Structure 1
Amino acid sequence: MMKHVNHERLRQLRLYGMAKGLEALERLPDRSQLAFDEQLGTLIEREAAERANTALASRLKRARLRQTACLEDLDLRTPRGLDRGVVRELATGRWVKENRPVLITGPTGIGKTWLACALGNQAAREGHSVLYTRLTRLLDDLATARLDGSLARMLRRIARLDLLILDDWAMTELTAAQRLDLMEVIDDRHDRAATMLATQVPVANWHRLIGDATYADAILDRLVHRAYRIDLHGDSMRRTKADAASETPDT
């Protein structure tokens, strides 16, 4: 009876990891040979692991990463301009702690979004708050927030993110209101948090698409300065994989 009471009490206290650890200990045939400190240590480790896993799952859910990707699965064999040294440096996560931007450019299908999501996944695993969104969606959300009076609150929430990933950056020319909103977002994060951009538009064209020289200078100065640059090139990996799949004989 005491066993069941202990399990129930642990769950009431939301010590789910310890409850699972206790169940595992009870199944050990040689549990009596373990000292009390060893058993307690096992329960504490299970609880710590359970909380870490729960927190990571929550961060990944809030991140809304478009693709399930992790750096361990990164394809470095396909020629597309990936610098192994830059990849190794980004994998350390120091760039997030140092509030540095990352700019990923290249043609459609080359793997920009996948790489951005893999880096976002890595940042979440290291305990950072992450959000993935397309630039057009972010700007639409900011415009809606202005109308309902929640713009300041939304800007504060974005500013607090450790990593903001903006996909499909600079795909169309911005309106005056969009330039203003984007400037607010970028300025709030400059030297305070990490921002990642992914786009098929070359950096040289960003100034024109922002639309106003003064705003463009201010925004790009905050993004391009100190940024890690990943310029991908080559054939579409989506097309290559689709062609390979179609050529695979049926078995």
Structure 2
Amino acid sequence: MNNNQTIEKLKQMRLGAMAQLHLQHIKDNRIENITADEYLALLIDHQWEDRQNRKIERLLKQAGFKQQANLADVNYTQNRNLDKNMFTRLGTLDFITRKENIILTGASGVGKSYLAQALGHQGCMMEYKTIYTNTARLFKKLKLSKVDGTYLKELGKLLKADLLILDDFGLQSFDNHARETLMDIIDDRYNKASTIISSQIPVSAWYDIIGEGTIADAILDRIVNSSHRIDLKGESLRKGALKNE
């Protein structure tokens, strides 16, 4: 079998990265300087890394983040009640392994969404399936899914996510549909997967916002008791950015 046939068969087996590296080694005449075992390991490692990178790229795309956020770029210099040691520990993502939740609260612009998405980005890098969504937009989508009969299917997609990020929670009032939908989401994910909730509304006001005491009690019992809570303070980081321009 000649090299061209080998490369073509590698491509047909969807081992494109391996085929490309093999072709490059042939062109550069580097095969003679390595043992067969070493060369095979080199090709396999290259293919493996390529697949891992493609998987991470796919997870990042599917997550639906609205901005690029990275744990390495988190600002700890601003006085906003963000404990570096605590957040660094959260960045290890042990909370996902333990099926725990995170609640981020604070005024507009203090960085809640960025922190949530930075954790989500790290989740994708560690190959956790992550979904980021605006809460009100998600409720609208699920309301429409009830009409076309795909509600349970959409809920199933949320349950399959290792990490679900609900941003801007509580900015719009809850009607019966929103309450029931939130209950379905939280109940399905309780002790099975992690959820990050970001909100301008303090947790103490969530009961009244959700409404319907029995449902509110059930939802908060499942969310709050299993959550790490970060209450951000200080001025808007957006204002600070404008001042520096």
1:46 partner letter: H
Aligned runs of 1:100-249 on 2, under 5 Å? 100-245=100-245
1:29-81 C-alpha deviation (Å, 9 max, x unpaired) = 55312100010000000000010011111111111011111111111222211
SS of residue matched to 1:228: strand
1:75 partner letter: N
Structure 1 residue 7, shift from structure 2 partner: 2.3
Corresponding residue number in structure 2 for 1:40: 40
CA distance in 2: counterparts of 1:22 and 1:30, whole angstroms: 10
SS of residue matched to 2:172: coil
CA distance in 2: counterparts of 1:209 and 1:78, whole angstroms: 30
2:38 partner letter: E
Q: Is the 8 A contact 1:10 1:19 kept in 2?
A: yes
Q: Is the 8 A contact 1:22 1:43 kept in 2?
A: yes
Unaligned ranges ≥5, structure 1? 246-251
1:74-98 C-alpha deviation (Å, 9 max, x unpaired) = 1122221111121121111110111
Give me the TM-score of the superposition, normalised by structure 2.
0.95
RMSD: 1.4
SS of residue matched to 2:244: helix
Unaligned ranges ≥5, structure 2? none
1:104-140 C-alpha deviation (Å, 9 max, x unpaired) = 1111111111111110011111111110001101110
CA distance in 1: counterparts of 2:110 and 2:43, whole angstroms: 46
CA distance in 1: counterparts of 2:25 and 2:87, whole angstroms: 42
1:1-49 C-alpha deviation (Å, 9 max, x unpaired) = 9333322222121102212321343355553121000100000000000
Identical aligned residues as a percent? 34
SS of residue matched to 1:113: helix
2:155 partner letter: L
Report the number of matched residues. 245
1:147-197 C-alpha deviation (Å, 9 max, x unpaired) = 111111111221121111000001122001210111011100011110000
